[in-house]
Structure 1
Amino acid sequence: MDLNTICFLMFGFLFIGYLVLEGFDYGVGMILPFLGKSDTERQAIINTLAPVWEGNEVWLIAAGAVLFAGFPQVYATLFSGLYLALLLIVSSLIFRGVAFEFRNKDINHNWRKFWEWAIFFGGVIPALLWGIAVTNLLTGLPINGEMQYSGTFWDLLNPYTLFGGLAFVFAFLLHGAVYLTLRLDQQLILRTRKMGLITGKYAMYIVVVFAILTFVYTDLTSKPIASGILVASVLTLILCYRCLRDREYTKSFVCSTVAIFSMIAAMFVGLFPRFIVSSLDPNWSLTIYNSASNPLTLKIMTVTMAIVLPVVLVFEGWKYYIFRQRICVTEIGFKSRIKLWEQLHDKLEELNKYYRITTIVLEKAKSTVERGGSIQLDEMKHGSVTRQIFEFKALIQRGRQLMYIIAEKIKILRKS
């Protein structure tokens, strides 16, 4: 096995690993607005991702590093041809990361709803676009003889690639639902299972049709191993649905993981030794040989990844082992109520402080007016009474704001 093949396998492993791990992140994000009926339940769903979602992005960064160092021509062609699609993916991921952090910065219902929908779209958009991007590599892009993309963004969209994007979305939806059955307590498992069965039914039909279209629109039929892996992914997805229906949640998650891994692996096996198929002329396709770096660079990268990959795998395994406990909705609700009571106490203390200051300002204004005569006119001239009146108005306004905040917190406490 030469260095070019090893680097191709490393990229494939890292990229598929990213989509498998990030796949349930996408799925959970898409489920979030519909599964959680209360703020506490939605927080519990988010907490299932909190310890792991950032680490999952490392796989994408590592895959990008392998592509950049090992196959710079592929990297350049992809980023020029799929620039808008990749920009949308990166923007969605950034916005989703911001949403995870900003959601709990305020207790306002509309504020939290906005960021929950941001998490939703941060799952849908990348899932759809990754599906479109991967299927385009196999079905072909308009790559000319100079190894450059000669089409537009709209050339990426056709019935097959759009259906591929849809297949990725529903496969990740099922993957996310199955993941939640392992991470949430009994209070939410039944509802999660029901949603998983609904999405799983659609996922099975869509992935079956996608597999058929793959055999029609690509040359995968000429590669028996790739064809067998794709068929196996469909069968594994069906088995995942059956395990979920029978409440065998661990088996169901293993099956969904294998199904997604094998579905994407089938496409990489179908591509090999090509990286990007040219729809203009098969001879213009980018392969692992005509787009690779020099042998020294490939050797250095292979040695580096041989050291880094085991560390990444050990860290990932340790991370999921540490955070394997189920998330308790009741415990989150209790902690949220304690936090709200503490915030309410702080706001009441602040309101009391403003009340005391307001009393002092009123006493000053009263004594100034009572002095009367020339003293009153003199102080009016210097604006002392006017200034005190403005201070009083500002204090009243701040008091109203505090009362509104307190009322909102009391409303949330009553609901919880």
Structure 2
Amino acid sequence: MSLETAWLGVLGLMLAGYFVLGGYDYGVQMLHPFLGGTREDQQAERSGQNPALDAIAPFFLGNEVWLVAFAGVMFGAFPHLEGNLLSGLYPLLVAILAGLVLGNAAVQLRRRSRGAGARRVWDALVVVGGAVPAVCWGLVVGLLLHGVPRRADGTFHVGYGEVFHPFVPACGATVLLLFAAHGAAFVAVRATEPELVARARQLGGRLIAVSAVAGLIALLLTLFGEGAHMTNKTTSVILAAAVFAAYGAAWWSLSTGNHVRAFVSTCLATALPVLLLGAGQYPYLLITKAGHGLHIDDAITDHETLKILSVFGVFIVPTILAYQAWSWWAFRGRTGRRHLSYF
């Protein structure tokens, strides 16, 4: 394996890790107003405690490390991709960052509010802070799969016509609903109260089904020539089939009450689109509708710089993985009204 391919794999690993870990954060944020309802839940809410949000609390800010790592790898190893991607997708990326800041602040400040009215405002901001990054990442994935226009000078530009092409909003809806279902599966794994687990399981099953329908619309648009533009057709078909298989496994597992298997399935469903982007369009990192674009050799830094980065990567990447494994082990206990509240 060449250094170029290895670093492309590291870039994909960072983004897939962020989708899996940040995805359930956004999902729980979007769903937390719908996961209460019992008298005990209402009593807990009056004290500021929310069992659904407590499920993500130990990992909340730590999951954003994967986004920082993704940006670091892109800046260091793929500087030409970074220049094209950030300039072309600037409005969506700004919206993602704004949603992250808003959601992080709202989650941590809601318990400090006085009165039910103020808490409802913070709750609404928590939902917005989860929904905005989720749908914007879906739009980004849709744009990259569909292909972005390339100017005469070689730069890429995304306009309103590309964002509102039917395929791109279909991808946005798919990811939004998938992240919500992913969050529901996570709550079902982490929570202790039977009522909360049952609500999360029911919501997750419905959301994964609707997300699959939105994904099917995107697939049909692709089959009729108005969807994704891939260079490796066979690989893309296999990976698309794997995504829908993960959907099916998640729905079946939620229906039968196997929460761990459901969460593993939603993890796969959130990670596989990143692999579809990388492997389905290889050797291009940004593709146009005509089937060509920014080649990996034009996007990556020089070989000597990659060698220097590899020395650091040998230590940094395992450290990130070890940190994530340790945090999951340290906070492996379930959460709920009878357990410690982190927020």
TM-score (norm 1): 0.76
Spell out, residue by residue over 1:332-375, the C-alpha distance to the aligned partner (whole angstroms, 9 max, x if none). 69x99xxxxxxxxxxxxxxxxxxxxxxxxxxxxxxxxxxxxxxx
Q: Indicate yes or no: 2:139 matched with 1:156.
A: no
Between 209-218 and 111-120, report the one with greater CA deviation: 209-218
Given candidates 223, 229, 253, the residue that maps to 1:243 is: 253
Matched with 1:122 is: 129
Q: 1:255 aligns with which of 254, 258, 265?
A: 265
Which residue is 1:55 aligned to?
62
- Higher mean alpha-carbon deviation, 38-47 vs 269-278, is at 38-47
Instruction: Supply the distance in 1 between the matched residues of 2:266 and 2:159 (Cα, whole angstroms).
Output: 34
Give how far 1:138 is off. Answer: 2.2
> What's the C-alpha RMSD, in Å, of the aligned pairs?
2.1
Tell me: CA distance 1:331–1:259, structure 2 relative to 1, closer, same or farther (3 Å): closer
**Alignment partner, residue 27 of structure 2:** 27
| Change in 2 beyond 3 A, CA 1:221/1:292 | closer
Distance 1:222 1:80 in 2: 27
Following superposition, the deviation at residue 264 of structure 1 comes to 2.8
Q: Displacement, 1:209?
A: 2.7
For residue 298 of structure 2, give the secondary structure of its aligned residue in structure 1: coil
Q: Distance in 2 between matches of 1:32 and 1:297?
A: 45
Matches within 5 A, 1:38-53: 38=42, 40=44, 43-53=50-60
Q: Is the 8 A contact 1:175 1:256 kept in 2?
A: yes
Does residue 1:319 correspond to 2:323, yes or no? no
Q: Deviation string for 1:130-180 (max 9, x for gaps)?
A: 111122112111122423234435533210011001000111111111100
Report what 1:168 is aligned to: 175
Q: Partner of 2:81: helix, strand, or coil? A: helix
For 2:43 and 2:100, locate their aligned partners in 1 and report how far apart those are by CA, in whole Å.
23
Count of aligned pairs between the two proteins: 333
- The amino acid of 2:283's aligned partner reads P
| Equivalent-residue separation in structure 1 for 2:88 and 2:273 (angstroms) | 24
For residue 270 of structure 1, what is the amino acid of its counterpart?
Answer: G
**Alpha-carbon distance in structure 2 between the residues aligned to 1:256 and 1:331:** 26
How many Å separate the matches in 2 of 1:211 and 1:326?
Answer: 38
Contact in 2 for aligned 1:92/1:122 (Cα 8 Å): yes
Q: Which runs of 5+ in 1 are unaligned?
A: 337-416
CA shift, 1:203, in A, is 2.0
Matches of 1:47 and 1:100, distance apart in 2: 10
Separation in 2, partners of 1:282, 1:236: 28
Shift in alpha-carbon separation, 1:263–1:77, aligned structure 2, 3 A: closer
Match of 2:297 among 289, 312, 327: 289
- Taking structure 2 as the reference length, the TM-score comes to 0.91
Which SS does the other structure have where 2:171 is aligned? helix
Alpha-carbon shift at residue 44 of structure 1 (Å): 1.3
Instruction: Give me the identity figure in percent.
Output: 27
1:36 maps to a residue whose letter is: G
Question: 2:14 touches 2:69 (CA, 8 Å); kept in 1?
Answer: yes
Where does residue 10 of structure 1 map in the other structure? 10
Q: Which has the larger radius of gyration?
A: 1
1:273 aligns with 2:297: no
CA distance in 2: counterparts of 1:277 and 1:328, whole angstroms: 46
What stretches of structure 2 of length at least 5 have no aligned partner? Answer: none
